[in-house]
A = this chain, B = another copy of it.
């Protein structure tokens, strides 16, 4: 068969603040691949089906001298992120053609992958589309599930405050908290999202852009568990309205990803209220919870016991836009890009 174009999304420039489609990232059609004969060198060829666009990706758009948990993207190379792909051909006897893999994969239509390192096999679910497996049943869902299990120490009757509640992490946290018998205060950035918060069971839901978070917490708090995807002033408000012995789960600080972190000036509350602050980083919890997660969460999603919300775009050419929308909070559910049907 003749070579086909292998569409890619390349990282083109370090963003000054927000990542700009066409400048920070570019859509590239210069490469081709022969799907039948491209050498695999012991690895396997995959076809990308869906890709996840997540807030943390902004952190990888940094200069190599800045250290963090995930390597920075390389200028001129494709972006990479969580996705689901179909194995087309394989040199590896453990990886058969026709299998589905999940994990960090390049933002391109086809990739030759050397090993299964960082990937895992998924079974096709009779009721759930692949998009769910990068969202509520993927990294964001795992973040919520594993973080909540490991660090919340939630007790019935307590009060939780969940930020970015309409996102794929926050929305599952809300539902886990409700299942554990907590009162849930949740915030999001639009009235449409606030409606979704109510639909999934939040007791108190508000638009943080039009309602003062401190006023809500003053009235509905104090809070025993704080799920933080925001950082900055909202974290300060949560510290001021925390109950004694509250647990803070630090999952993200998007308030500062693009414009710099605001200094937190009231950490003394940690002492006076005997607070515990824990960082939630999902890949360090996989070993402990992955089996339990896949045994329970997809089934609960398929049965409608946990609700989820997706914001699906089609085609790699949308990736740059979707990245910006996620950083701006303009997406209305888990941002997923469908790259190809099977």
Known A-B contacts A264-B263, A265-B263; A271 and B276 likewise in contact (beta carbons under 8 Å): no
A168 interface residue per 8 A CB criterion: no
- In the complex, the answer to whether A261 meets B267 with C-beta atoms within 8 Å is yes
Known A-B contacts A250-B271, A274-B281, A279-B271; A261 and B265 likewise in contact (beta carbons under 8 Å): yes
- In the complex, the answer to whether B279 meets A276 with C-beta atoms within 8 Å is yes
- In the complex, the answer to whether B231 meets A272 with C-beta atoms within 8 Å is no
Contact residue among B244, B272, B279 (Cβ-Cβ distance under 8 Å from A68): B272
- Residues in A204-236 with C-beta less than 8 Å from chain B: 231, 235
- In the complex, the answer to whether B277 meets A270 with C-beta atoms within 8 Å is yes
A333 interface residue per 8 A CB criterion: no
**A260-B265, A263-B264 known; 19 other A-B pairs, CB under 8 Å?**
A69-B272, A252-B271, A253-B271, A261-B266, A261-B268, A262-B265, A264-B267, A269-B279, A270-B277, A270-B279, A271-B281, A272-B281, A274-B279, A274-B281, A274-B284, A275-B279, A276-B276, A276-B277, A276-B279
- Residues in A252-303 with C-beta less than 8 Å from chain B: 252-253, 256, 260-281, 284
Residues of B within 8 Å of A252, CB to CB, are 271
Nearest residue (CB) in B for A68 is B272
- In the complex, the answer to whether B279 meets A273 with C-beta atoms within 8 Å is yes
A154 interface residue per 8 A CB criterion: no
User: Once bound together, how far apart are the Cα atoms of A14 and B25, in whole Å?
Assistant: 56
A residues in contact (CB < 8 Å) with B? 68-69, 231, 235, 244, 250-253, 256, 260-281, 284
For A235, A252, A265, the residue with the greatest tally of chain B CB atoms inside 10 Å of its CB is A265
User: Once bound together, how far apart are the Cα atoms of A55 and B235, in whole Å?
Assistant: 26
User: Once bound together, how far apart are the Cα atoms of A268 and B229, in whole Å?
Assistant: 11
Q: How far is the CB of A332 from chain B (nearest CB, A)?
A: 25
User: Once bound together, how far apart are the Cα atoms of A61 and B321, in whole Å?
Assistant: 53
Q: How far is the CB of A65 from chain B (nearest CB, A)?
A: 14
User: Once bound together, how far apart are the Cα atoms of A44 and B261, in whole Å?
Assistant: 55
Residues of B within 8 Å of A244, CB to CB, are 284
9 contacts between A and B (CB under 8 A): A69-B271, A231-B267, A251-B271, A262-B265, A263-B265, A270-B279, A272-B281, A275-B278, A276-B278
